[in-house]
């Protein structure tokens, strides 16, 4: 829980009339407070005493100094997609970064500076105009802030690595309210920002490397889910050249217009794939996945197209859906595990339920486990089990089901920060194992000894 309850009046007095006159302050009585605190997916009871929305690093620094002096904890809101990973202490003061959405692209220098409140989709579109990319996740509306600081697993993972593998610097507001430039001259801090979550401060701008990739071949292939097709898709995706990345979601087909009616309510694999090699070679690269589909009776939907990488990033569904989830690491899914997962998905009463398998390797595994604060480089797969429903009450009943399926599929210790449910403190040590934990805790002590930033997968100062 927060150490101090801030009075709305004190926040207003300190920050509403700040010297720049630019920070917006919202307290629970204000119109706009409810909309500003909404996060995706819904159902998280997150009610800070105030939400402040600065427009620059100086405004963020003022808010941080105010919270520190008041003895209040701080949470950071960027894209607002971390309902499952925000942490239990949601902070007395929330710093909303959505107005920090600038982007400067230097195509010749292959570098972009992007505001900490930008979304992955807006970033991908802006750099895509120059035929360039930085790898992000599968969803456009996710904030670059949360996904970058966690690691960043997406459709270019096997070819271009995690988002943090392209993170070359940052502008950071530390717990003492200083604005510091982090680059290779601050190696420990840069190491910690590459996967250490929001533990070190507020990143007001990120600097990324850009890679030339004007077009990719990708999209969604929907395949009938059988134990053989699930195991076969995982195996084919893991054996594919690194130009191919696949995110395989095993689920009960929703009654969406693009799904043929006879498949509604039946088990399918929604394979989101991306071929980032020469488009001419895409058919050969994708052939093993299509062969699995053929053996299962043929693809149900094939939406694989040539186009810009930004076109593969979809908007989150939004709305009032509430979800619970769990995560695991594995290297393979055999027929028996796949059969178990399918039976569980078919019998669960949850409105929506899915097992997502992100097949890694390639460029992710090229980087040494101790080179960044993301330590699980050698895991072949990050998995995610999700159950969703109309209300928090309904969803609470699905937690044991999620937990049991996660344990059945888990093959390795560890967890990915961005998928940790409810910021579960017990899982923080598996996100940051052994030496990673010790090193992160030491950086934390140097930059945030009071643990001002703890609304995250928290590593307390050593
Ligand atoms: C629909 C959906 C799809 C997703 N897809 C993927 C995916 O493909 N790959 C993947 O890796 N993850 C994915 N995620 C997980 C996502 O990366 C994390 O939940 C991430 O934390 C969301 O970032 P955000 O900025 O949108 O969220 P927020 O809730 O705004 O921020 C999350 C946390 O990150 C920290 N933070 C954010 N920005 C900053 C900043 N600038 N400075 C300091 N701290 C900051 C804070 O601790 C904050 O509490 C997905 C999540 C959702 C809901």
Report the CATH number at residue 273.
3.40.462.20
Name the one residue in this structure whose structure tokens are 């390795």.
412
Q: Return the pLDDT at 18.
A: 56
153 close to ligand 1 (CB < 6 Angstrom) = yes
Same domain for 315 and 184: no
Same domain for 301 and 237: yes
Q: Return the pLDDT at 251.
A: 98
454 close to ligand 1 (CB < 6 Angstrom) = no
Report the CATH number at residue 174.
3.30.465.10
Backbone angles phi, psi at 171, to 5 degrees: -105, 125
Q: Return the pLDDT at 291.
A: 98
Q: Single out the residue of 273, 161, 169 nearest to residue 222, CA to CA.
A: 273
75 close to ligand 1 (CB < 6 Angstrom) = yes
78 close to ligand 1 (CB < 6 Angstrom) = yes
Secondary structure letter of residue 276 according to DSSP: -
Burial 405-422 (b: 16+ CB within 10 A, else e): bbeebbebebbbbbbbbb
Alpha carbon distance 306, 219 (integer Å): 9
Alpha carbon distance 343, 353 (integer Å): 12
Q: Does residue 434 lie within any of the structural domains?
A: no
Q: What is the tally of structural domains in the chain?
A: 3
CA of 84 relative to ligand 1 center, distance in Å: 9
CA of 19 relative to ligand 1 center, distance in Å: 31
97 close to ligand 1 (CB < 6 Angstrom) = yes
Backbone angles phi, psi at 156, to 5 degrees: -115, 15
Q: Return the pLDDT at 12.
A: 83
Q: What is the DSSP string of 34-55?
A: HHHH--SSB------SEEEE-S
Alpha carbon distance 282, 207 (integer Å): 31
Q: Single out the residue of 428, 298, 301, 273 nearest to residue 359, CA to CA.
A: 273
80 close to ligand 1 (CB < 6 Angstrom) = yes
118 close to ligand 1 (CB < 6 Angstrom) = no
Pick the residue whose CA is nearest to atom 49 on ligand 1: 86
Ligand 1 atom closest to the Cα of residue 456 is 47
139 close to ligand 1 (CB < 6 Angstrom) = yes
Q: Return the pLDDT at 342.
A: 98
CA of 418 relative to ligand 1 center, distance in Å: 6
The backbone region for 285, taken as left when phi is positive above 0, alpha when psi lies in -120 to 50, beta otherwise, is: alpha
Q: Return the pLDDT at 421.
A: 77
Same domain for 91 and 66: yes
CA of 81 relative to ligand 1 center, distance in Å: 5
Same domain for 356 and 247: yes
428 close to ligand 1 (CB < 6 Angstrom) = no
Q: Does residue 288 lie within any of the structural domains?
A: yes
Q: Does residue 235 lie within any of the structural domains?
A: yes
Same domain for 161 and 72: no
150 close to ligand 1 (CB < 6 Angstrom) = yes
Q: Return the pLDDT at 44.
A: 67
24 pairs with which residues across the strands? 53
228 pairs with which residues across the strands? none
Task: Kindly give the parts of the chain with pLDDT less than 50.
Answer: 1-3
Alpha carbon distance 88, 2 (integer Å): 10
Q: Does residue 443 lie within any of the structural domains?
A: no
Q: Does residue 435 lie within any of the structural domains?
A: no
Same domain for 339 and 360: yes
* End residue of a domain, out of 96, 116, 151: 96
Q: What is the DSSP string of 169-218?
A: EEEEE-TTS-EEEESTTSHHHHHHHTT-GGGG-EEEEEEEE-EE-S-EEE
Is the preceding omega at residue 41 within 30 degrees of 0, hence cis?
A: yes
Q: Does residue 431 lie within any of the structural domains?
A: no
Name the one residue in this structure whose structure tokens are 């859906």.
321
Alpha carbon distance 291, 225 (integer Å): 14
Q: Return the pLDDT at 128.
A: 98
Same domain for 165 and 58: no
Cα torsion angle, 389, 392, 398, 399, sign: positive
- Other CB atoms within 10 A of residue 51 CB: 25
Alpha carbon distance 351, 398 (integer Å): 10
Same domain for 110 and 75: no
- Other CB atoms within 10 A of residue 185 CB: 9
Same domain for 222 and 191: no
140 close to ligand 1 (CB < 6 Angstrom) = no
Burial of 19 (0-12, 13-18, 19+ CB in 10 A): exposed
Same domain for 221 and 207: no
CA of 197 relative to ligand 1 center, distance in Å: 9
* End residue of a domain, out of 173, 188, 212: 212
Pick the residue whose CA is nearest to atom 4 on ligand 1: 139
* End residue of a domain, out of 96, 112, 140: 96
Alpha carbon distance 97, 80 (integer Å): 10
Secondary structure (3-state) at 100: coil
155 close to ligand 1 (CB < 6 Angstrom) = no
| Token pair belonging to 404 | 């049991």
Pick the residue whose CA is nearest to atom 53 on ligand 1: 81
Name the one residue in this structure whose structure tokens are 């997968």.
457
Q: Does residue 428 lie within any of the structural domains?
A: no
Q: Single out the residue of 31, 25, 71 nearest to residue 50, CA to CA.
A: 25
423 close to ligand 1 (CB < 6 Angstrom) = no
Q: Does residue 34 lie within any of the structural domains?
A: yes
| Token pair belonging to 262 | 């006879």
Ligand 1 atom closest to the Cα of residue 419 is 15
Report the CATH number at residue 83.
3.30.43.10
Q: Return the pLDDT at 46.
A: 75
Q: Return the pLDDT at 66.
A: 94
Residue 161: which domain range?
103-212
Q: Single out the residue of 125, 126, 164, 118 nearest to residue 143, CA to CA.
A: 118
Q: Return the pLDDT at 31.
A: 87
Same domain for 143 and 48: no
* C-beta separation of 99 from 175 below 8 A: no
Same domain for 311 and 205: no
Pick the residue whose CA is nearest to atom 7 on ligand 1: 137
């Amino acid at each position: 829980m927060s150490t101090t309850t801030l009075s709305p009046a004190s926040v207003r007095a300190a920050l509403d009339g700040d010297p720049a006159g630019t920070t917006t302050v919202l307290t629970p009585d204000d119109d706009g407070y409810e909309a500003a605190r909404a996060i995706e997916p819904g159902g998280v009871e997150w009610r800070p005493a105030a939400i402040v929305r600065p427009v620059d690093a100086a405004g963020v620094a003022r808010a941080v100094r105010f919270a520190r002096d008041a003895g209040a904890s701080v949470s950071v809101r960027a894209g607002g997609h971390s309902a499952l990973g925000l942490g239990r202490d949601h902070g007395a003061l929330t710093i909303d970064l959505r107005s920090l959405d600038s982007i400067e692209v230097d195509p010749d220098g292959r570098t972009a500076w992007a505001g900490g409140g930008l979304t992955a989709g807006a970033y991908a579109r802006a750099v895509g105009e120059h035929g360039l990319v930085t790898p992000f996740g599968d969803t456009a509306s996710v904030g670059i802030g949360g996904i970058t600081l966690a690691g960043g697993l997406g459709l270019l993972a096997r070819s271009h690595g995690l988002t943090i593998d392209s993170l070359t610097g940052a502008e950071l507001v530390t717990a003492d309210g200083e604005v510091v430039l982090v680059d290779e001259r601050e190696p420990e801090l840069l190491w910690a920002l590459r996967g250490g979550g929001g533990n070190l401060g507020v990143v007001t701008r990120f600097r990324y490397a850009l890679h030339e990739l004007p077009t990719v071949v990708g999209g969604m292939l929907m395949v009938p889910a059988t134990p053989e097709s699930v195991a076969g898709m995982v195996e084919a995706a893991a054996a594919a050249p690194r130009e191919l990345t696949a995110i395989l979601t095993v689920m009960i087909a929703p009654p969406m217009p693009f799904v043929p009616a006879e498949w509604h309510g039946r088990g399918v694999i929604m394979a989101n794939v991306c071929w980032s090699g020469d488009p001419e070679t895409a058919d050969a690269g994708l052939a093993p996945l299509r062969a699995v589909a053929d053996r299962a009776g043929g693809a149900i939907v094939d939406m694989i197209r040539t186009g810009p990488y930004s076109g593969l990033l979809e908007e989150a569904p939004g709305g009032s859906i509430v979800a619970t989830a769990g995560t695991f690491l594995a290297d393979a899914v055999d027929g028996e595990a796949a059969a178990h997962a399918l039976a569980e998905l078919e019998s669960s009463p949850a409105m929506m339920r899915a097992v997502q398998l992100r097949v890694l390797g390639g460029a992710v595994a090229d980087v040494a486990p101790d080179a960044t604060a993301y330590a699980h480089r050698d895991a072949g797969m990050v998995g995610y089990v999700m159950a969703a429903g109309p209300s928090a009450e309904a969803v609470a009943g699905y937690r044991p089901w999620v937990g049991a399926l996660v344990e059945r599929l888990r093959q390795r210790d560890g967890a990915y920060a961005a998928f940790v449910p409810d910021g579960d403190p017990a899982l923080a040590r598996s996100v940051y194992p052994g030496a990673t934990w010790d090193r992160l805790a030491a950086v934390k002590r140097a930059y945030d000894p009071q643990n001002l930033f703890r609304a995250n997968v928290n590593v307390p100062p050593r």
